[in-house]
Amino acid sequence: MTGPHARTVVRRDHAVIAPETHVAGPVPGWTGAEHVQLVAPAMGARFSMALVTVVAGAVAGPPAEGCGRAVYVVSGAVALEAAGRRYELGPGGVAYIPPGDAHTLTAAGAGRICVIDKPHVALAGAPRGRPVVGDATRTTPVDFLGDPHVRVTQLLPDDPALDLALNIMTFDPGASLPFVETHVMEHGLLVLEGSLVYRLGDAWYPVAAGDAIWMGPFCPQWCCAYGTGPASYLIYKDWNRDVMA
C-alpha cells in the first residue's frame, strides 16, 4: 500500500513505521550499507533503531560516543571481531558491544541487520558493559508469564553491567499479551514474521513482518496475533536502571 493510504503513523508517544514508507540512505562511517532509520531521537526516543541493508564486504561505522550497540542479523551473515575474538553471525545472530570497545562488523554477503544504539547508563559499583554474542536459533524460548502460547527468547543476559534488554516474542495464532502494559521503559520493535493487532495508546494497528514500532514511556500497549501461523518480533527496552539515579 502506497501513497496517501500508507500505514505509517507517528504520534507523541508511539509510532508505526511501515515498509512502504521507508527511505534508505547512507550513514557516515559505514561502507556498502543503506540505512532505514526506524526509531530516532527526532521522534522523542532515547535510542535509535535502524534496519541496515548490506552488500558483501560492507563495514559498519562506530556508534556515537558513549553509546552501546546491539546488532541482530535478520538475513545474511556478518563477521564480528571484538575483544580479540572473531564471531560468525548468521540469521538470528545477536551481539552487544559496549561503548568505546574497538570492534569491526563486516558483511559476508547481501543481507539485513537491525542496529540499536543507545547512550550507556553506567551503574555505580557494577562493571562497565561487556561484549555479548549469542544466537536466537540456539536459545530455548520460555513461556511468557506461564502461557505456553506466548514465548520469549532472551537474547541478552540480565546483567548489572547491561542497561538494555533484547528479546524475541513469539505468539501462536490467537495468542495475546495477558494485559495492557504501561511502564517507564520504552520499546523498539521489529516484526519478524506473521501478523498482529497492536494497541498503542488509544489506537489499534494491524502490523505484519517488516513493520516497526516505537513505544514511548508509559504508552499503553497490548497485542494479539492472528492468521494461520505464528507471529514474532524483536523487541528492545531500556532496563535495569533506577530512573532517579
179-183 contacts, C-beta under 8 A, 24 or more apart: 179/222, 180/220, 180/221, 180/222, 181/220, 181/221, 181/222, 182/218, 182/219, 182/220, 182/221, 183/217, 183/218
Same-fold call for 24-137 versus 139-238: yes
**DSSP secondary structure letter of residue 186:** -
The whole-number pLDDT of residue 69 equals: 97
pLDDT in tens, 15-27: 999 999 999 999 9
For residue 187, give the C-alpha cell. 520499546
41 C-beta neighbours (distance < 10 Å), count: 10
pLDDT per position as a tens digit, 73-97: 999 999 999 989 999 999 999 999 9
Mean pLDDT of 160-172: 97
Q: Closest Cα partner for 198 from 182, 178, 177?
A: 177
Q: What pLDDT score was predicted for residue 75? A: 98
Q: What is the pTM of this model?
A: 0.96
Q: Work out the average pLDDT over 200-215.
A: 98
CA distance 15 to 17: 6
Task: Tell me the CATH number for domain 24-137.
Answer: 2.60.120.10
pLDDT, tens digit, for every residue of 208-233? 999 999 999 999 999 999 999 999 99
Q: How confident is the model at residue 130 (pLDDT cuts 50, 70, 90)?
A: confident
Give the model's pLDDT for residue 3.
58
Cα 53 to Cα 12, 26, 49, 73: the distances in Å are 28, 10, 13, 11
Task: Calculate mean pLDDT across residues 115-132.
Answer: 90
Superfamily of domain 139-238: Jelly Rolls (2.60.120.10)
Averaged pLDDT of the chain: 96
What ranges do the domains of the chain cover?
24-137, 139-238
Provide, rounded to the nearest whole percent, the portion of the chain with pLDDT above 70. 99
